[in-house]
């Protein structure tokens, strides 16, 4: 069952009533083995890694094409970023499906938002190696934890499943300084932080050698 729906085109701006200001990426029209149009790979830190491309996964929730970080060469301090260059959001409701494929140093990942540049942004990620879900801010390349929660080994349907190799839906809602982070529709993290007050880009993130796939990214503008 496709939990996030199927959207045509790599980028669709939905203008129907009740969905104004929503962007979706399902990567279905993007060329396999390449970055989608409008996306850029970057790193926080130095080292080999941050190799992103469109790959195929028949079990992906929004169609068989996904955007994946494919390098297992990243050193421990490296953050792998893939940024949607033509986005700008302040208050937002963001959802994305994430699948941890492998990684010995680190696994999993999640979305970034209010991104100023490769060294300044908010990030929420789920790590199957640590069985936790955390939200951070990254300021001048230094990561600071804002909240953390342990997670159970379940899939999007709530059934017992290894955290690695299953699809997990992450949702972020931020209004003003208040951040709320959901996993599988359940609110697990809440934090207040005023570091990044202005609109910024959204994107995807993994750490070190985490090979991770993402699909069905959806962002709704909540700015009044």
Q: Count the domains in the chain.
A: 1
Is residue 67 a part of any domain in this protein? yes
State residue 7's pLDDT score. Answer: 31
Is residue 195 a part of any domain in this protein? yes
State residue 84's pLDDT score. Answer: 98
Is residue 13 a part of any domain in this protein? no
Q: How far apart are CA 114 and CA 103, in angstroms?
A: 27
Task: Encode the chain in three state secondary structure.
Answer: CCCCCCCCCCCEEECCCCCCCEEEECCCCCCCCCCCCCEEEEEECCCCCCCEEEEECCCCECECEEEEECCCCCCCCCEEEEEEEEEEECCEEEEEEEEEEECCCCCCEEEEEEEEECCEEEEEEEECCCCEEEEEEEECCEEEEEEEEECCCECCCCCECCCECCEEEEEEEEECCEEEEEECCEEEEEEECCCCCCCEEEEEEEECCCEEEEEEEEEEECCC
Is residue 14 a part of any domain in this protein? no
pTM of the predicted model as reported, rounded to 2 decimal places = 0.90
Is residue 91 a part of any domain in this protein? yes
- Tell me which residue range forms the domain holding 56: 27-221
Q: For every one of its 224 residues, what pLDDT tens digit does the chain have, with 9 covering 90 and above? A: 333 333 333 333 333 333 457 999 999 999 999 999 999 999 999 999 999 999 999 999 999 999 999 999 999 999 999 999 999 999 999 999 999 999 999 999 999 999 999 999 999 999 999 999 999 999 999 999 999 999 988 878 888 888 999 999 999 999 999 999 999 999 999 999 999 999 999 999 999 999 999 999 999 999 97
Is residue 6 a part of any domain in this protein? no
State residue 18's pLDDT score. Answer: 36
CATH number, domain of 131, equals 2.60.120.560
State residue 20's pLDDT score. Answer: 56
């Amino acid at each position: 069952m496709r939990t996030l729906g199927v959207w045509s085109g790599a980028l669709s701006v939905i203008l129907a009533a009740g969905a104004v200001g929503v962007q979706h990426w399902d990567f279905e029209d993007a060329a396999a083995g390449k970055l989608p149009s409008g996306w850029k790979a970057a790193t926080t830190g130095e080292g080999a890694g941050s190799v992103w491309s469109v790959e195929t996964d028949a079990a992906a929730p929004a169609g068989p094409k996904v955007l994946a970080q494919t390098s297992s060469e990243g050193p421990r301090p490296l953050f792998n970023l893939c940024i949607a260059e033509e986005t700008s959001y302040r208050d937002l409701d963001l959802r994305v499906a994430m699948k941890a494929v492998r990684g010995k140093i680190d696994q999993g990942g999640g979305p970034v938002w209010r991104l100023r540049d490769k060294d300044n942004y908010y990030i929420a990620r789920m790590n199957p190696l640590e069985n936790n879900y955390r939200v951070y801010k990254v300021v001048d390349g230094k990561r600071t934890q804002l909240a953390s929660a342990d997670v159970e080994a379940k899939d999007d349907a709530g059934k017992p499943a290894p955290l690695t190799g299953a699809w997990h839906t992450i949702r972020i809602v931020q209004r003003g300084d208040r951040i709320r982070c959901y996993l599988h529709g359940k609110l697990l993290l809440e934090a207040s932080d005023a570091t990044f007050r202005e609109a910024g880009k959204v994107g995807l993130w993994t750490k070190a050698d985490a090979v991770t796939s993402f699909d069905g990214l959806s962002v709704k503008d909540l700015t009044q």
